[in-house]
Amino acid sequence: MRIVLDTNVLVSGLLTPRGAPGRLVDLVLGGSVQLLVDDRILEEYRDVLSRGRFGFSPGDVSRLLDFVAESAEPVLAAPLVRRLPDAADEPFLEVALSGSADALVTGNARHFPAAAAGGVDVLSPAAFLVRVRRS
């Protein structure tokens, strides 16, 4: 399965590895799902994971981001036809649409209204794991 992973799920997965976000991060790290990214998403991952309040070691963040940059599929994303309420969320949906993602996985589904999602399935980590188990 090809997914776009919202930053909030990545952070949650690293902070609480036993929950649904953590299991999803494990799927990404294990190569069971294909992560889709562009430079804007990689930069947001870097910015957020480097924030001191999370307590992640700079070396661990660097290794994780190197892995993501090497293993993820880069996508050249076209701009959205319909804007999202928060412009900071747009790169995730643009990559999902342009990369023909099976899902955009986020903890904030309300940030991606169906009218703007263009048919992309916007799923919570738990809902995505259910889908993985069924396939």
Q: What's the CA dihedral at 77, 79, 81, 84 to 10 degrees?
A: 100
**Stated pTM of the model:** 0.96
pLDDT higher than threshold 90 for residue 116: no
pLDDT bucket at 32, cuts 50 / 70 / 90 = very high
Q: What is the pLDDT of residue 95?
A: 98
All domains in the chain, ordered by first residue: 2-134 (3.40.50.1010)
Mean pLDDT, residues 51-66 taken together:
96
Q: What is the pLDDT of residue 87?
A: 93
Q: What is the pLDDT of residue 54?
A: 96
Strand order in the sheet with 2-5: 73-74, 34-37, 2-5, 103-105, 122-123
Mean pLDDT, residues 77-103 taken together:
95
Mean pLDDT, residues 72-95 taken together:
95
Q: What is the pLDDT of residue 84?
A: 92
Q: What percent of the chain has pLDDT over 70?
A: 100
3-state secondary structure of 103: strand
Q: What is the pLDDT of residue 82?
A: 85
Sequence-distant (6+) residues with CB within 8 A of 54 are 11, 14, 15, 48
Please report where in the chains the tokens 């998403």 appear, as a residue. Answer: 41
User: Cα–Cα distances in Å, from 14 out to 8, 64, 102, 113, 134?
Assistant: 10, 10, 23, 26, 25
pLDDT higher than threshold 90 for residue 115: no
